Structure 1
């Protein structure tokens, strides 16, 4: 079961973060103010999907990793604390701040400064999760 749960949860988490990131870019670049408010309001609700997916991916990966060793496993293990810290310390607080500011119509310099930070931190997590996905695919047994 863990061998199925782990990749599904990991891909779901990666796609959710990518969706948040792309929605933000598109709304900020091409959308009206109402679109930005809608995106910034919706993202915290997406945590109801993202947080369990990340927890399931991390927990199942930890359990699966106990049974294995090697360079790929070690790299995945080293990335996970950065992914988690980035999410807990930067991405979640930023999303909540931006949601409150957007709903209040306060598109001032703190909004845009935090927005820039959130986009950079989101891109980092997308890259790190993508690397974990790549390494996970390399760990799978090959069908012949």
Structure 2
């Protein structure tokens, strides 16, 4: 568990960052072909992301051993927001955008959902980065800020 948790967490963060950066880069390129390719590829990335997130969560709960205070508690409090954002916002957005891109429909609905996905993705990246930071502090790899 001690090795699985940081590896799975890193894979999850890198996967989400790849989705986010690929989306931003494709949008900035202005190429509808590139945007469509990125949007249709992201759902396939769920085959890596979902198991990585599940392994991170399960191993994190196991490592917590019932503790709910301090940095462990902070990490646990973020998890429902990360999961909810992913399940209720990011996955539906990605599937909608892939469908629209496959049909070549780059209309207002596409770009409104795209903006929501970018914001929600940035939120999840931030929350996961905070969890990683707290995990590194717990392991002594980062110094804790004075209180």
Shorter-chain TM-score: what band? over 0.9
Distance 1:31 1:16 in 2: 23
**TM-score, scaled to structure 1:** 0.95
Residue deviations 1:23-50, cap 9 Å, x none? Answer: 0000000141110010000000000000
3-state SS in 2 of match to 1:3: coil
Identify the residue that residue 79 of structure 1 maps to in structure 2: 78
Identify the residue that residue 65 of structure 1 maps to in structure 2: 64
Identify the residue that residue 8 of structure 1 maps to in structure 2: 7
Residue deviations 1:39-64, cap 9 Å, x none? Answer: 00000000000000000000000110
Distance 2:68 2:86 in 1: 26
Identify the residue that residue 124 of structure 1 maps to in structure 2: 123
Larger helix percent = 1
Unaligned runs of 5+ in 2: 142-147
Residue deviations 1:75-128, cap 9 Å, x none? Answer: 000000000000000000000000000010001111000000000000000000
Identify the residue that residue 104 of structure 2 maps to in structure 1: 105
Structure with more relative contact order (C-alpha pairs < 8 Å, separation 6 or more): 1
Distance 2:112 2:41 in 1: 20
**TM-score, scaled to structure 2:** 0.93
Q: Label 1:69 to 1:81 Cα distance change in 2 as closer, same or farther (>3 A).
A: closer
Identify the residue that residue 18 of structure 1 maps to in structure 2: 17
Unaligned runs of 5+ in 1: none
Q: CA deviation at 1:66?
A: 1.4
Distance 1:104 1:70 in 2: 49
Distance 2:66 2:140 in 1: 15
